[in-house]
Amino acid sequence: MRHDPVHDLIERTLGGERVPLARAISEVENDAPGAIAILDACFGRSGRAYRVGITGPPGAGKSTLVARLAQEYRRLGETVAIVAVDPTSPFSGGALLGDRVRMGELAGDEGVFIRSMATRGSLGGLAVHTAQVCDVLDAAGFGRILIETVGVGQSELEVAQTADTTVVVLVPESGDAVQAMKAGLMEIGDLFVINKADREGADRAAFAVRSALELRPVRSPWETPVLQTVAAKGTGVADLVAGLEGHLEYLRRHGGLEHRRRQRLEQRLRDLLRDQLWQALLGRVPESEWKASVEALVERRATPHQVALRIAGAAREATGSKR
Amino acid sequence: MRHDPVHDLIERTLGGERVPLARAISEVENDAPGAIAILDACFGRSGRAYRVGITGPPGAGKSTLVARLAQEYRRLGETVAIVAVDPTSPFSGGALLGDRVRMGELAGDEGVFIRSMATRGSLGGLAVHTAQVCDVLDAAGFGRILIETVGVGQSELEVAQTADTTVVVLVPESGDAVQAMKAGLMEIGDLFVINKADREGADRAAFAVRSALELRPVRSPWETPVLQTVAAKGTGVADLVAGLEGHLEYLRRHGGLEHRRRQRLEQRLRDLLRDQLWQALLGRVPESEWKASVEALVERRATPHQVALRIAGAAREATGSKR
């Protein structure tokens, strides 16, 4: 038992080795056979890292900002892991490209680890997988984990919210705060950043965000900062790090950290159960029955509700007879 | 049986009455007791409407464009339903506001029906509910259904893809097609629109989108149009309608319509089953057990995987003993 390869992989990952870490993450991301053992081993050792979600519309300069954040954290002596959650874009190669750009600045630093995760269109799966990968990074000893999402849709917001703190990045042109409100961003941001603030309209954008924040029905003692950065030049990045650490401190002092982490774990348990139920069902429905059911729908011989009931019932029968 | 209120509601909805239609949709959206009967009745009568999904980043002017599309379709004698899928934004009131703006232009026209749907954060639930609401509108006799999403995340793309045709709306400033590629938009668009094309950079943006489209690995005989509109002035809207009808014609001629609709129904069956499995599980797990499980996670006494296994197992036991 002691010398099986997965056990070895876990030991070396927890010991801080980078190559096994990368492999362990791949196992987790692909639901490979070793994934459960890795996750079970890492979960108990996680909970020490500060996880920061960074979200905002495409083009807000999140990747550059995240790279700068990592540099600043390194300057302060923290180890940093970056998890970039990119949509599956088989032909754009966005994920790889982003990594390469960043690699130039952070390459060769053992205190930084960068990982891209592709979204694979599986409902719920993305937030679960992100949280799992963060557990591995957490257990491997990284002090700060930056989770970057590309889009600003429902799933991306859920990913950003697996973190302890959520940063919303906007640009002066997204100025009209109404757009951010529409996208559901105002509710989830603990800190707001107007990036590319050397472009026209940054002050106006910051003001609009502040005004929109005033409308939030739930007030807390936390005064949500609205910062301005020029990530490409590094301007304002130290202030952002200070703001992040301030929020961590605030969460600790007010019991918010424990509360949030409890909520996150509960949500994660929900997502995981959903996935497991679905996988279990799939394993019990024969391909032929599935095809016949879809055909019945296409020809309007049955309704989706009727077909779903039949499939779920048949799957239950199958389990019953096995037990 | 004949004279129960739900039956009456269904009859009047299918008969084309607007007030019962609005109520039927509310029942469906809220999973109210009458929902299944309504859906079962409507599903068999659906499949006639042409469903168009309209997506793109916040601020692209989608709402205005959709209102103009509706006007143009009305001019051509079609009846139009608009389904606007907005994120839950309890304090922004975005959904209501959007409706009011549009109402000004389309009010009093019995041939147009506008409905906002709030996203309620339930995984998968949104695409299912959108498809269900469209079934009701379809069965109620609307010839064209325009489904508008606010964001461009995973869930929003899934919503847009419940349609027969997907339109991606960009603005000159989103110019850099790389951003659209990153957001996963290039893969799903059947037509692209550069809206607000009276602003600088429209030609450049259109060119960038065309170049990006060339990179798509899967080629089809459909030449994806990249149109320019100024929705606020109505410019280019007639061309967009022509493009949409052209795509419908193309889909019909090449068997793509049937193929897509089959895929959509299959995806919908998957989503519905997921939801049902989850609801069934929830009903079998006592509140106290759920809380104890979350507590075990918080204290790291158990891992998510272990807890999920235990809950799923206990739920199965519960079913077993009942049967």
- Cβ of A179 and B153 within 8 Å? no
* β-strands A191-194, A112-119 pairing: unpaired
Alpha-carbon distance values, A276 to A116, A320, B87, B200, B295 (Å): 24, 18, 27, 50, 21
> Do A89 and B184 make contact, defined as CB atoms within 8 angstroms?
yes
Q: Do B273 and A94 touch (CB under 8 A)?
A: no
Quick one: pLDDT at residue B4? 85
**CA-based max dimension of chain A:** 69
Q: Provide the pLDDT for residue A87.
A: 55
As beta bridge partners, residue A54 has A148, A167
Query: Which residues on chain A are in Cβ contact (under 8 Å) with B322?
Result: none
For the ranges A30-39, A211-220, B15-24, the lowest mean pLDDT is seen at A211-220
Average pLDDT of every residue of chain A: 84
CATH code of A44-255, in short, is 3.40.50.300
Q: Is the dihedral of CA A217, A218, A221, A222 positive or negative?
A: negative
Residue-by-residue DSSP string for A243-309: HHHHHHHHHHHTTHHHHHHHHHHHHHHHHHHHHHHHHHHHTTS-HHHHHHHHHHHHTTSS-HHHHHH
Q: What are the CA-CA distances from residue A218 to residues A140, A192, A223, A268, B91 (Å)?
A: 36, 17, 12, 24, 10
Taking the CA of residue B75 and the nearest CA in chain A, the distance in Å comes to 30
Span B46-257: which CATH code? 3.40.50.300
Contact (CB<8Å) A89/B305: no
Q: Does residue B258 sit at the A interface (CB-CB below 8 Å)?
A: yes
Residues in A closer than 8 angstroms to B151, CB to CB, are 151-154, 182-184
Nearest CA-CA distance, residue A248 and chain B, Å: 18
Is the CB of B87 less than 8 angstroms away from the CB of A271? no
Cα separation, A267 vs B153, in Å, equals 19
Which positions in chain B touch A320 (Cβ < 8 Å)? Answer: 320, 323
Q: Note whether B154 contacts A152, CB cutoff 8 Å.
A: no
Q: Does B267 touch chain A (CB under 8 A)?
A: no
Residues 226-255, chain B, touching A (beta carbon < 8 A): none
Of A58, A265, A323, the CB nearest to B182: A58
Tokens representing B263 are 């895929």
Domain spans in chain A, listed from the N-terminal domain onward: 1-43, 44-255, 283-322
> Residue range A1-28: average pLDDT?
90
pTM score: 0.73
B182 vs A: CB within 8 A: yes
Query: Which is nearest to A226 in space by CA: A186, A178, A181?
Result: A186
Contacts of B297 in chain A (CB under 8 A): 265-266, 269
| Nearest Cβ partner for A308 among B88, B269, B294 | B269
Distance CA B38, CA B24 (A): 7
Contact status of A292 with chain B (Cβ, < 8 Å) = no
User: What pLDDT does B249 receive?
Assistant: 97
Q: What is the DSSP string of A112-131?
A: EEEEEEEE-S-TTHHHHHHH
Residue type, A67: A
Cβ distance of B312 and A274 shorter than 8 Å: no
Strands B50-55 and B80-87: unpaired
pLDDT above 70: percentage of residues in chain A = 82
In sequence order, the 6+-apart residues with CB closer than 8 A to the CB of A116 are A84, A85, A86, A95, A96, A98, A99
Scanning B81-100 for CB atoms below 8 A from A yields 86-92, 94
Find the range with the poorest average confidence among A280-289, A292-301, B155-164, B193-202.
B155-164
Higher pLDDT: A322 or B25? It is: B25
pLDDT per residue as tens digits for the range A127-173 = 888 999 999 999 999 999 999 987 666 667 777 778 999 999 988 87
Asked if B277's CB is within 8 angstroms of A278's CB, the reply is yes
Q: Which residues in chain B have their CB less than 8 angstroms from residue A47's CB?
A: 300
Measured between beta carbons, the chain B residues lying within 8 angstroms of A43 are 300, 303-304
Burial of A235 (0-12, 13-18, 19+ CB in 10 A): middle
CA distance B298 to chain A (A): 6
pLDDT score for A91: 36
- Tokens 């680890």, residue? A113
Q: What residues 25-44 of chain A have any CB closer than 8 A to a CB of chain B? A: 36, 39-40, 43-44
R_g of chain A computed on alpha carbons? 22
pLDDT at residue B182 in the model = 57
> CB-based contact (8 Å) between B178 and chain A?
yes
Half-sphere exposure of A250 (CA within 13 A, CB side): 16
Question: What one-character DSSP code corresponds to residue B152?
Answer: -
**What pLDDT shows up at residue B313?**
79
Q: Over the stretch A219-276, which tens digit does the pLDDT of each residue have?
A: 788 999 999 999 999 999 999 999 999 999 999 999 899 999 999 999 889 888 888 8
Q: Do A44 and B303 touch (CB under 8 A)?
A: yes
Q: Are the beta carbons of A86 and B182 closer than 8 angstroms? A: yes
Contacts across the A-B interface (CB distance below 8 Å) = 228
CA distance A78 to chain B (A): 25
pLDDT tens-digit series, residues A80-129: 999 988 654 433 334 444 444 555 667 778 899 998 887 554 445 778 88
Give the rounded distance of the alpha carbon of A56 from its chain centre.
13
Contacts of A87 in chain B (CB under 8 A): 154, 182-184
Rounded to two decimals, the ipTM of the complex is 0.80
The pLDDT profile of chain B, 323 residues, written as one tens digit per residue, is: 556 889 999 999 999 999 999 999 999 988 888 999 999 999 999 999 999 999 887 778 888 999 999 999 999 999 999 998 865 443 333 444 444 455 566 777 889 999 888 755 444 577 888 999 999 999 999 999 999 987 666 667 777 778 999 999 988 876 555 565 655 677 789 999 999 999 988 998 899 888 888 877 767 889 999 999 999 999 999 999 999 999 999 999 998 999 999 999 998 898 888 888 888 888 888 889 999 999 999 999 999 999 998 888 777 666 554 43
- Name the residue of chain A whose CA is nearest to B304's CA: A269
Per-residue HEC secondary structure of A186-232 comes to HHHCCEEEECCCCCCCHHHHHHHHHHHHHCCCCCCCCCCCEEECEHH
Q: Which amino acid is at B229?
A: T
For helices A35-43 and B304-322, the axis angle rounded to 10 degrees is 110
Residue of A nearest to B87 (CA): A184
Which of 141-170 (B) contact A at CB < 8 A?
A: 150-158
3-state SS string over B73-133?
A: HHHCCCCEEEEEEEECCCCCCHHHHHHHHHHHHHCCCCCEEEEEEEECCCCCHHHHHHHHH
Which tokens go with A275?
């996935």
